[in-house]
């Protein structure tokens, strides 16, 4: 673990009774990179990011964020340190206006500075292209727009580590294209950990790929290395053609 590593895990394990969802995961994420986490369904990807963000309590092992052991911290304190998390199943405040959804995300950091919050919200809305829908109730937005709102709420927190759990699930092709552009525009600003099933998105965005299979790290490397890896092909790429 060096100064350029933003997130590391050591022997991170989650067991549900006798079943191990994650076994001894050692993972290092260099700062500023886009890391994709891939693997077949049930490989333990969501469990892994759940343990990183604090939503799921680890059975054993440690999580380090910017060199500090955050294993004992509750989720909200980890988030407050600069981790943003977007849910796999869309989880926005459906009863509140879109603008207020993003303001809630921004306000935790900006506190009661209303002017700064307003500016931040306007910037984020503009960046994701939802400005004209700002006053709609989030629950009235289309599914695709709710997914984008979910990402916008992450952006509004100015995270140093941005965890996205299957952000493109259910998006149209055009929306996926826009998402790829958005993610690429974040390069350099923030470090991204992306769980993704869409191989096209992974190959177009990721600097590094980690492959999970049956709760263990199967391979890690650049997209080219992963594509050439026989074990990965057998476990994953060969069976699902994205």
Partner 1 sequence: MTNQHRVHLLHFGTIALLALLFFVLPAYHVGNLARIMVLATYAIGYNFLFGYTGLLSLGHALFFTAGMYGLGLAMTQFGLPSAPALIIGLIAACLVSAVIGFLALRTSGVAFMIVTLMFAQAGYLTILYFGTYTRGDEGFVIQQAKRVMFGIDLSSEVSRYFAALILFSICFLTVARIVQSPFGKTLIAIRENEERARMLGYDTGAHKLKAIIISGTISGFAGAAYALLFGYAGATFATVQYSIFPLLWVLLGGAGTTVGPLIGVIFMFYLIDLSSSITSAYMLIAGVALVLLAMFAPQGLAGTLRKRWFKWMP
Q: Where are the beta strands (DSSP E) in the chain?
A: 5-16, 19-30, 34-38, 60-65, 68-69, 83-86, 161-165, 191-195, 208-213, 216-221
| Contact stretch for partner 1 (CB under 8 A) within 29-37, 59-67, 83-91, 195-203 | 83-91
| Contact stretch for partner 1 (CB under 8 A) within 109-117, 186-194, 195-203, 211-219 | 109-117
Dig out the tokens for 127 from the structure.
């960046």
The residue (of 65 and 236) whose beta carbon lies closer to partner 1 is 65
The residue (of 149 and 220) whose beta carbon lies closer to partner 1 is 149
Residues contacting partner 1: total by CB under 8 A: 27
Distance CA 55, CA 163 (A): 12
Asked if 122 is part of the footprint of partner 1 (rule: CB under 8 A), the reply reads no
Q: Count of CB atoms within 10 A of residue 197's CB?
A: 16
Please give the residues from 141 up to 200 whose contact with partner 1 meets the rule CB under 8 A: 153, 157
Residue 17 zone, left/alpha/beta (φ > 0; ψ -120 to 50; rest) = left
| Contact stretch for partner 1 (CB under 8 A) within 97-105, 119-127, 176-184, 187-195 | 97-105
Minimum distance between the CB of residue 142 and partner 1, rounded to whole angstroms? 19
The residue (of 50 and 61) whose beta carbon lies closer to partner 1 is 50
Pick from 91, 172, 185, 222 the residue near partner 1 by CB under 8 A. Answer: 91
Residue 171 half-sphere exposure toward CB, CA atoms < 13 A: 27
Helix axes 143-155, 98-110, angle to 10 degrees: 10
Kindly give, in sequence order, each residue whose CB lies less than 8 Å from that of residue 177, ignoring residues fewer than 6 positions away.
Answer: none
| Contact stretch for partner 1 (CB under 8 A) within 39-47, 74-82, 172-180, 213-221 | 74-82
Minimum distance between the CB of residue 10 and partner 1, rounded to whole angstroms? 24
Minimum distance between the CB of residue 91 and partner 1, rounded to whole angstroms? 5
Distance CA 82, CA 177 (A): 27
Nearest by Cα to 137 from 100, 187, 178, 91: 100
Minimum distance between the CB of residue 76 and partner 1, rounded to whole angstroms? 5
Pick from 2, 17, 18, 112 the residue near partner 1 by CB under 8 A. Answer: 112
Minimum distance between the CB of residue 155 and partner 1, rounded to whole angstroms? 12
Asked if 76 is part of the footprint of partner 1 (rule: CB under 8 A), the reply reads yes
Contact status, residue 212 vs residue 36, Cβ threshold 8 Å: no
Contacting residues toward partner 1, per CB under 8 A = 53, 55, 74-77, 79-80, 85, 87, 91-96, 100, 103-105, 107-109, 111-112, 153, 157
């Amino acid at each position: 673990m060096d100064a350029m590593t933003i997130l590391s895990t050591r022997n991170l394990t989650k067991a549900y009774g006798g079943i191990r969802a994650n076994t001894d995961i050692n993972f290092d994420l260099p700062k500023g990179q886009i890391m994709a986490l891939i693997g077949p369904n049930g490989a333990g990807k969501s469990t892994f990011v759940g343990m990183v963000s604090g939503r799921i309590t680890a059975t054993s092992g440690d999580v380090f964020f910017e060199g500090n052991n955050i294993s004992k911290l509750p989720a909200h304190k980890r988030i407050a340190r600069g981790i943003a998390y977007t849910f796999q199943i869309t989880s926005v405040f459906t009863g509140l206006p879109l603008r207020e959804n993003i303001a809630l995300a921004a306000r935790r950091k900006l506190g009661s500075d209303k002017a700064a919050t307003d500016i931040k919200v306007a910037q984020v809305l503009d960046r994701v292209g939802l400005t004209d829908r700002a006053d709609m109730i989030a629950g009235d937005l289309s599914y695709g727009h709710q997914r984008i709102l979910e990402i916008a709420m992450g952006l509004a927190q100015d995270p140093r580590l941005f965890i996205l759990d299957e952000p493109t699930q259910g998006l149209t092709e055009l929306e996926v294209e826009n998402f790829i552009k958005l993610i690429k525009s974040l390069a350099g600003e923030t470090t991204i950990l992306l769980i993704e099933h869409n191989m096209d998105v992974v190959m177009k965005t990721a600097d590094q790929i980690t492959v999970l299979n049956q709760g263990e790290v199967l391979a890690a490397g650049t997209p080219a290395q992963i594509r050439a890896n026989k074990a990965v092909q057998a476990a994953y790429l060969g069976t699902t053609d994205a």
